[in-house]
Amino acid sequence: MRKETPRTRRVAEQLQRELAETIRDEIRDPRVGSVTVSGVEVARDLAHARVYMTVLGEDSRTSTEAAGVLNGASGFLRRELSRRVRLRTVPALTFIHDPSFDRAARLSSLIDSALDEDQGRSS
């Protein structure tokens, strides 16, 4: 794994904040829904950025479709970022579905069912 520099970390954090706000305010496509930007990885040369996202309350298929829509709108989002962020060049954006929210919801439901089963046995 490549080493992250303090500058790339700061840029990634700023891009994450600005992208979340821009997607919420500017993207009107109903397939996008309530998108959560969970993380951004920026290349050392700041030329490319991977944006990890998920759609809250939806399955992974819907989130993957929303990632495709956002990849189609990446030029627009990049232009909007250039207006909000003071960088010489704004990184090219690639949106990727983040499955960690799906795994967390599945684990939570498994824990809840195990607790319910355990309470059923002790009664």
Domain boundaries, the chain: 6-122
Domain 6-122 CATH assignment equals 3.90.1720.10: no
Q: Which residue has the higher pLDDT, 44 or 116?
A: 44
Give the orientation angle of helix 60-72 with respect to helix 74-84, to 10 degrees.
70
Higher-scoring residue by pLDDT: 1, 79: 79
Q: What's the pTM?
A: 0.79
Of all residues in the chain, what percent carry a pLDDT higher than 90?
42
Cα distances (angstroms) measured from residue 121 to each of 18, 30, 107, 116, 117: 50, 45, 21, 9, 6
* Phi, psi (rounded to 5 degrees) for 53: -145, 160
The owner of tokens 């799906």 is 102
* pLDDT of 21 strictly over 80: yes
Instruction: Write out the H or E segment, with its range, that includes residue 79.
Output: helix 74-84
